[in-house]
Chain A
Amino acid sequence: MSAISTEIIKGDARISPRAHARHTGALIRRNLLWIRQDPESMFDAILMPIVFTLLFVYVFGGSIGQALGGGQDDYVQYVVPGMMAMMGMSMAMSVGTGFNTDFNSGVMDRFRSLPIGRGSVLFAKIAVELLRMLLATTIMLVVGVLVGFDITNWGGLLAAVALAALFGSALMWVFLTLGVVLKTPQSVQGLGFLVLMPLQFGSSIFAPTESMPGWLQSFTDVNPLSSLADAARGLMVGGPVTQDLWVTVAWSVGLTAVMAPIAIHKFRTKT
C-alpha cells in the first residue's frame, strides 16, 4: 500500500478526543437512564453503606474501641474513614458483574459495529460507577455522623473522598477486565468475593493490625486497602498521611496503567 493511501485511511479513521467525549457522554446517559428505569439497581449503593456502618459500629465498636483505649466513639472515628476504602471495592465488583450481563446482550454488537472508540463503552461504565460510589460514600458519611463521627477537617474529608474514588476507579478496571473475560456474571461475582474478602478483612479497614499475627501483618502491610484506609484516616481525623497517600496513588496509577489497556483490548477483541 502506498504512503498516500495509508495516510488517508489514518486521517479518516481517527476518533478525536471530542468525539470520544461525545460518545462516552451518550453512553453515560444510557447508564443513567437505566437507573431511572430500574431504581432498585441503586439499592446496593444506598443500603450497603447504612447496613455495614451500623453493623460494624454496634457489633464491634464496643470491644475494638476498648482495645483502642476508649469506647465505641473512638471506633467510629477509626472505622468511618476505613469504610471509605470499602465502598470503592464493593462498587468495583458490581461494575464487573453488571458489565458482564451487559456484554452478553445484543446491543454490544451494535456498539461494536459503530464507528466509536471501543474504550468509550468502558469509560462510561466507570463514570457512572464512580457516581454510585460517591453516593454510597455520602450515605456512609451521613450515617457515620449520625452515630457519632466528628468531621473536623472538611478539606481532608474531600481529599479522602477523591483518593478513594481514584483507587476505586483503578479497581474498576480490574473488575471490568474480569467482566469481559469471564463467561457469566455469577463467575465474576464468585471470583470477586474470593478476592474481595481477604483484601477487605486482611487490612486496617476495620481493625488495627498490631494485634494480628506476624504473617498476616506482612500481608496487611502491603495490602493497598490498608494504605488507602490509613491515608483516609490521616486526612479525616489527623495523623501521618504522606507515605500512605503516595502508596495509594502509586497503586491506583499502576493498576490503571496495566488494567485499562488490557480491559479495552479484551473488550475490542472479544467475539
Chain B
Amino acid sequence: MTRIDNNPNARAGSAVTVRGLVKHYGETKALDGVDLDVREGSVMGVLGPNGAGKTTLVRILSTLIQPDAGQATVAGYDVVRQPRQLRRVIGLTGQYASVDEKLPGWENLYMIGRLLDLPRKEARSRADELLERFSLTEAAKRPVNTYSGGMRRRLDLAASMMGQPTVLYLDEPTTGLDPRTRNEVWAEIKRMVGDGVTVLLTTQYMEEAEQLASELTVVDHGKVIANGAIDALKAKVGGRSLRIRPADPIELRPLAGALDELGITGLASTTVDSANGTLLVPILSDEQLTAVVGAVTARGITIASITTELPSLDEVFLSLTGHRASAPQDAVPTDAREEVSV
C-alpha cells in the first residue's frame, strides 16, 4: 500500500474509522483487510473499479451486512455492537435510487421523516423544504416512477438528508447519469458538503473524485492500494494534462522543447502526439496551467485549441500498481483520449 501523506489527526477527529475490515463471499474476498479514516467534515473518495469492494464497504458501514473480521466505527458507534445508534447518524444514497418508486416524491420524504421519529408537522415541513432545495417541488405529487434519472438521484439525496445525518454515504451517486445530469448532482452534493456533513463517496471516476473529494482512498480487489490527500495522489498519478494543438503542426517539437526547458511543471516531460498534431503537458495546478499558456503565448504561436484532461481510473491504476484496473468498467465520462504515459 502506498501511503502518500501521513495525517497525524486521522484518529482524533475521525468520523469513520475502519481497521482490518474483512468480508468474504465464498472464495471472493470482497474486502480483504481495509483500513480507512475519514476526518470529520471532510469528503473521502473511495475510488475503484467494479467489484473492488466499494459497495460492500458502504453496506457494512450502514449496518446492512456484517463484517467477517475487523472493526468499524461511525461517529464513535460500532457497526456490529451499536447498529441502532449508528443508524441515527447516517444517511445513505445507494447506487440504485433507494426510494419507493410507486410513491410520490413528497410521500417518500414524509415517510422517511416519520420513520426517523420526526413529529408529523416537522416531517411535513422538512419534506417541503428539501423538495424545494433539490428543485423537485413541481414533481412533489408525482410518483417517482415518472421521474427522470437525475430527479430520482436528487430525491434520493433529499431522502438521505431527512434525518440531518452527520455522516453521509454516497455510493456511486452519478453512475449511469448523462454528463449534464451528473453536473447537477455534483452541484447538489457540493452544497450538502458545504453544510458540514462528513461524506464517504464511492466512485469509479477520477473526475468525480476530483470534483467532490478532498481525500482519496484507492481500492482494488478488496484492498487499499493508495490513500492520501487528493492533490498528493494527483501528483503521483500525474494529475491533469493540458492538450495543446498548434494551428501549424510544424510548431509541435519546438514548442515541446521550449516548454520542457522552462521546467514549469517539474514533472514528467511534455509528450508530442504527432498523429493528432497535439502536445500533452502534465500540470498539477491552475498556476502551472497559466504559466504554460503564458509561455505558449510568449512564443507568438497560433493555437487551434487547448483542453485539460484528467487521467482515467485505468491510468490511475496503471501508475499506482503497474497493472490495469481489475474489472471492466463503464465508459469513463471524460473526453476520450489515447494512451499516454504519465
Contact = CB atoms under 8 A, between A and B. Distances in A.
A29 to B, nearest CB: 7
Contacts, number: 83
A19 interface: yes
Given A9-B81, A9-B82, A30 B112 contact: no
B63 interface: yes
Interface string B76-106: 0000011011011010101011111111100
B114 A114 contact: no
Contacts of B159: 110
Contacts of A34: 102-103
A15 to B, nearest CB: 7
In this complex, the interface size class of chain B, counting residues with CB under 8 Å from chain A, is: 20 to 34
Interface stretch (A20-28, A136-144, A183-191, A248-256): A20-28
Interface residues of A, number: 28
Given A26-B114, A37-B103, A271-B64, A109 B84 contact: no
Given A30-B107, A114-B115, A115-B116, A13 B85 contact: yes
B114 A38 contact: no
Interface in A10-52: 12-13, 15, 19, 22-23, 25-27, 29-30, 33-34, 37-38
Contacts of B102: 33-34, 37-38
Interface string A233-250: 000000000000000000
Nearest to A18: B117
B79 to A, nearest CB: 11
Chain A binding site: helix, strand, loop or mixed by DSSP? helix
Contacts of A22: 114, 117
Contact of B84 (A13, A27, A33): A13
A158 to B, nearest CB: 32
A23 B65 contact: no
Contacts of B116: 114-115
Interface of A: 9, 12-13, 15, 19, 22-23, 25-27, 29-30, 33-34, 37-38, 105-107, 109-116, 271
10 contacts: A13-B82, A29-B111, A33-B107, A34-B102, A107-B99, A113-B63, A113-B64, A113-B90, A115-B87, A115-B116
